[in-house]
């Protein structure tokens, strides 16, 4: 069963059982007398509420990542995901549907009307009943699908073909665990060795089928869906070679973390029955989530340009009076997949800032920054013109910060995984920007790279929204640099 097929099946079952939950609620509420109703309600009146709830739950589950699955997710963890999302969803429904006569807002505070306590209690009972029905039915549906899927894996059906890169003790350990636990959904089809002397060798009837230079060909010819790299993630050159060869292929990559990766907590660690692996996802977001992300980009950029339009002449006048030179500073940056584009900002430095020095990092109390430039940077107002870059789809609201080609070449040579952050469109703000200051040294670059990789491995619309709110807080408190 492929990932896309599983997602479609789960969406269909969620919507079906969600509708059944609403029907059960209706029958208990209006027909069985479980919670006596003061008025009768015909069954056909459920059509519009059912349509609204189907769209509501689909969007909520999509935003919370409930249609993205690990190959062999824990059924307990999956049930917890449903319970948490159902609690959030029903809380939002309660606020949306609560009768206005039950509450009032006075002086910015929420008050429950004295005569409405009993009605409010009934409303909360109805909401709790719906929550229990929805959670039970949708949770059972997902558990059933995962149980059937695991049963098929155990009996050799629908397994993913896996290549293990590394003919060594780590690779053999992974091989044994995969064979010992078929419920993982893996089937090892061979080893890829980094040592030519291992060609043709076998480990428990599984052969070394190629060297590292042939990995892309073997992935295609054997229809491999997953590659597990069985050497330490600190071996950057070998790891980069694997990622580079497979970067445009629909294949998942898992790597063994170094102790630094585990201790720092900057990557998502998955477990193969106690064996820790870092997952590198070939498809970061699904089509639906990419569409939602783009809609957010367009909406925020349009609203931002309209909102800040009155500030443009004020900022322009301040820049002009403070120092000679252009109002808008344009510079070539590296975008998604390494494509070049020109980023736009309000100028915050002297016109001749890099005439003698060439490209250099900004620094704390940078003498090249003008007085008005210092204020613009503290409030992030210098970034406003980048809303145009977002509108024309060169950037996103949230993503890794775009850097100049001169620096990218250096960073890729020093930190091979830096290339991986180019899988996404660069962002006006991002996880690394809200967690760390501007780059002033290679140590800063390495730390921000860890934050960027964490963002890529945990990417979701909800994380984007969290980053946006953190950025708004930075702007309002003028804590930018």
CATH of the domain at 191: 3.40.50.720
At residue 302, the pLDDT reads: 94
Using 50, 70 and 90 to split pLDDT, how confident is the model at 259?
very low
Domain with 185, as residue range(s), is 160-280
264 and 326 belong to one structural domain? no
Query: In degrees rounded to 5, what are phi and psi of residue 187?
Result: -140, 115
359 and 441 belong to one structural domain? yes
Q: Among 285, 317, 321, 299, which Cα is nearest to 461's?
A: 285
Using 50, 70 and 90 to split pLDDT, how confident is the model at 451?
confident
Return the sign of the alpha-carbon dihedral for residues 22, 27, 33, 34: negative
Most confident of 4-8, 237-241, 289-293: 289-293
The total number of structural domains in the chain stands at 3
Task: Give me the torsion for CA of 86, 89, 95, 99, rounded to 10°.
Answer: -70
Q: Among 111-120, 157-166, 177-186, 202-211, which is the least confidently predicted range?
A: 111-120
205 and 308 belong to one structural domain? no
Q: Say whether pLDDT at 195 is over 70.
A: yes
Summarize pLDDT for 54-89 with one digit per residue, the tens: 999 998 888 787 887 766 667 888 898 899 999 999
379 and 294 belong to one structural domain? yes
Mean per-residue pLDDT, 123-130:
87
At residue 100, the pLDDT reads: 62
Using 50, 70 and 90 to split pLDDT, how confident is the model at 354?
low
303 and 416 belong to one structural domain? yes
344 and 448 belong to one structural domain? yes
Residue at a domain's end among 280, 307, 334: 280
Count helices and strands in the chain by DSSP H and E runs: 16, 14
Average pLDDT taken over every residue of the chain: 80
Whole-model pTM: value is 0.61
Residue at a domain's end among 216, 247, 280: 280
409 and 322 belong to one structural domain? yes
CA–CA distance, 427 with 76 (Å, rounded to integer): 35
CA–CA distance, 117 with 133 (Å, rounded to integer): 24
222 and 337 belong to one structural domain? no
Q: Among 206-215, 327-336, 391-400, 405-414, which is the least confidently predicted range?
A: 405-414
CA–CA distance, 243 with 421 (Å, rounded to integer): 12
94 and 173 belong to one structural domain? no
At residue 360, the pLDDT reads: 62
More confident residue, 394 or 448: 394
At residue 479, the pLDDT reads: 60
Residues 189 and 127 sit within 8 Å (Cβ to Cβ): no
Most confident of 66-70, 180-184, 253-257: 180-184
Q: Say whether pLDDT at 322 is over 90.
A: no
- CA angle 403/408/412 to nearest 5° reads 140
At residue 260, the pLDDT reads: 40
Phi-psi region for residue 72, left (φ > 0), alpha (ψ -120 to 50) or beta? beta
Residues 172 and 203 sit within 8 Å (Cβ to Cβ): yes
472 and 374 belong to one structural domain? yes
At residue 45, the pLDDT reads: 77
86 and 33 belong to one structural domain? yes
141 and 244 belong to one structural domain? no
Q: Say whether pLDDT at 272 is over 70.
A: no
């Amino acid at each position: 069963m492929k990932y896309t097929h599983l997602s479609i099946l789960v969406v269909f079952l969620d919507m079906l059982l969600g509708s059944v939950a609403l029907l059960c609620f209706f029958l208990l509420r209006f027909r069985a007398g479980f919670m006596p109703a003061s008025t009768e309600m015909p069954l056909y009146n459920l059509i519009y509420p059912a349509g609204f709830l189907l769209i509501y739950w689909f969007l909520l589950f999509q935003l919370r990542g409930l249609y993205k699955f690990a190959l062999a997710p824990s059924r307990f963890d999956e049930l917890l995901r449903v319970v948490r999302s159902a609690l959030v969803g029903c809380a939002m429904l309660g606020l949306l549907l609560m009768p206005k006569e039950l509450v009032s807002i006075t002086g910015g505070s929420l008050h429950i009307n004295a005569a409405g306590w009993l009605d409010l209690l009934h409303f909360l009972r109805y909401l709790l009943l719906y929550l229990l029905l929805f959670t039970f039915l949708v949770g059972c549906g997902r558990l059933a699908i995962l149980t059937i899927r695991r049963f098929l894996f155990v009996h050799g059906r629908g397994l993913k073909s896996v290549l293990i890169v590394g003919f060594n003790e780590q690779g053999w350990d992974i091989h044994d665990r995969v064979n010992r636990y078929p419920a993982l959904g893996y089937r090892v089809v061979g080893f890829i060795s980094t040592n030519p002397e291992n060609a043709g060798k076998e480990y428990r009837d599984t052969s070394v089928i190629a060297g590292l230079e042939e990995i892309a060909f073997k992935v295609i010819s054997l229809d491999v869906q997953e590659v597990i790299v069985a050497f330490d993630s600190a071996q950057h050159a070998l790891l980069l070679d694997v990622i580079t060869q497979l970067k445009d292929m629909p294949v998942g990559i898992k790597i063994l973390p170094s102790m630094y990766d585990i201790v720092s907590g900057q990557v998502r660690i998955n477990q193969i029955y106690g064996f820790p692996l870092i997952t590198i996802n070939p498809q970061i977001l699904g089509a639906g989530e990419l569409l939602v992300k783009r809609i957010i980009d367009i909406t925020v950029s349009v609203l931002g340009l309209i909102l800040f339009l009155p500030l443009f002449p004020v900022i322009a006048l301040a820049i002009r009076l403070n120092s000679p030179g252009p109002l808008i500073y344009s510079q070539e940056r590296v975008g998604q997949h390494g494509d070049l584009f020109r980023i736009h900002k309000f100028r915050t430095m002297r016109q001749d800032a890099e005439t003698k020095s060439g490209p250099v990092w900004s620094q704390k109390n940078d003498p090249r920054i003008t007085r008005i430039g210092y204020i613009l940077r503290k409030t992030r107002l210098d970034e406003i013109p980048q809303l145009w870059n977002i509108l024309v789809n060169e950037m996103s609201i949230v993503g890794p910060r775009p850097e100049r080609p001169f620096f990218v070449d250096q960073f890729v040579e020093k930190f091979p995984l830096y290339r991986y952050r180019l899988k996404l469109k660069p962002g006006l703000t991002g996880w690394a920007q809200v967690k760390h200051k501007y780059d002033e040294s290679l140590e800063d670059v390495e730390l921000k790279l860890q934050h960027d990789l964490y963002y890529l491995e945990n990417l979701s619309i909800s994380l984007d929204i969290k980053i946006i709110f953190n950025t708004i807080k930075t702007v309002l408190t003028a804590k930018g640099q």
